[in-house]
Amino acid sequence: MRSIVYGPVSSWRLGRSLGIDLLSTTTKTCSFDCVYCQLGAGQPADERRELVSIHEVAASLEEVRHVPADYATFSGMGEPTLARKLGEAIEIARSLLHLPVAVLTNSSLLSREDVRQELARADVVVAKVDAPTEELFQQINRPCPSFHLADILNGISEFRRGFSGKLALQMMFVEANKEYAAEMARIARDLLPDEVQINTPLRPCPVEPLSKEELDRIKREFSGLKRVVTVYEATTPEVVPLHREETLRRRPRL
């Protein structure tokens, strides 16, 4: 059986988090190829597919139903909304694990009604926005050609209107967008998230992280928003390899 479940890992956003990977591909399967991605090269993908059957998901979750964790988190080797039946998998995870369910998404498919409906079954959705302009979006996130920033922002806005759970925006700041904090804060104010997570790539990747002082300066632009946290303020910085150590090592930080 493929390793669909990994962790739990200690997540700076979600506490002790049991990861669920509905892609389970050996290389990245994603609609983006972000400059800071820690997963390396992979398969560009813009269509939803069933890479792991619901039966496999249920069987893998059965094995870990007594593992203590704070969240069951859909993430893994790429973009989780590319997996068809994500909504069904969310329901199975909640009923088997008795945990709140989170999904970390790059937001690319939120312009689709079916994806919004399935994501709305989660308790927490962490949606990525890294750029205030199409040009920077192309430069930082390097999406498949069918994706454009305006559609994604409209999709998040639409999702916000119908979602009663917690919506967090994750904004990754690197050299290329660090002078656009005010514009990013304007986007956050429009999208009405419950939380803004200001991040910078601290794990080994092709891009240098920004300093704590730079993130503190960026955070000040977000004043007035409900809750704003930076990765440097997190109290749980490292992965805790308690389960399936070998697969955990290649999985992304949650």
Where does this chain bind ligand SF4 (CB under 6 A)? 28, 30, 32-34, 37, 39, 78-79, 106
Q: With respect to ligand SF4, which residue has the nearer C-beta, 11 or 92?
A: 11
Q: With respect to ligand SF4, which residue has the nearer C-beta, 63 or 135?
A: 135
Closest approach of Cβ 17 to ligand SF4, in Å? Answer: 16
Nearest by Cα to 141 from 154, 155, 127: 127
Q: With respect to ligand SF4, which residue has the nearer C-beta, 37 or 153?
A: 37
Closest approach of Cβ 208 to ligand SF4, in Å? Answer: 16
Closest approach of Cβ 201 to ligand SF4, in Å? Answer: 9
Closest approach of Cβ 37 to ligand SF4, in Å? Answer: 3
Q: With respect to ligand SF4, which residue has the nearer C-beta, 92 or 201?
A: 201
Closest approach of Cβ 44 to ligand SF4, in Å? Answer: 9
Q: With respect to ligand SF4, which residue has the nearer C-beta, 34 or 174?
A: 34
- β-strand partners of 78: 29
Order of strands, sheet of 5-11, starting from the edge strand that comes earlier in the sequence: 5-11, 15-20, 71-74, 101-105, 124-128, 166-172, 195-199, 228-230
134 is written with which tokens? 């199409």
- Distance, CA of 160 to CA of 177 (rounded, Å): 24
Strand duo 15-20 + 5-11: pairing: antiparallel
Strand duo 28-30 + 42-44: pairing: parallel
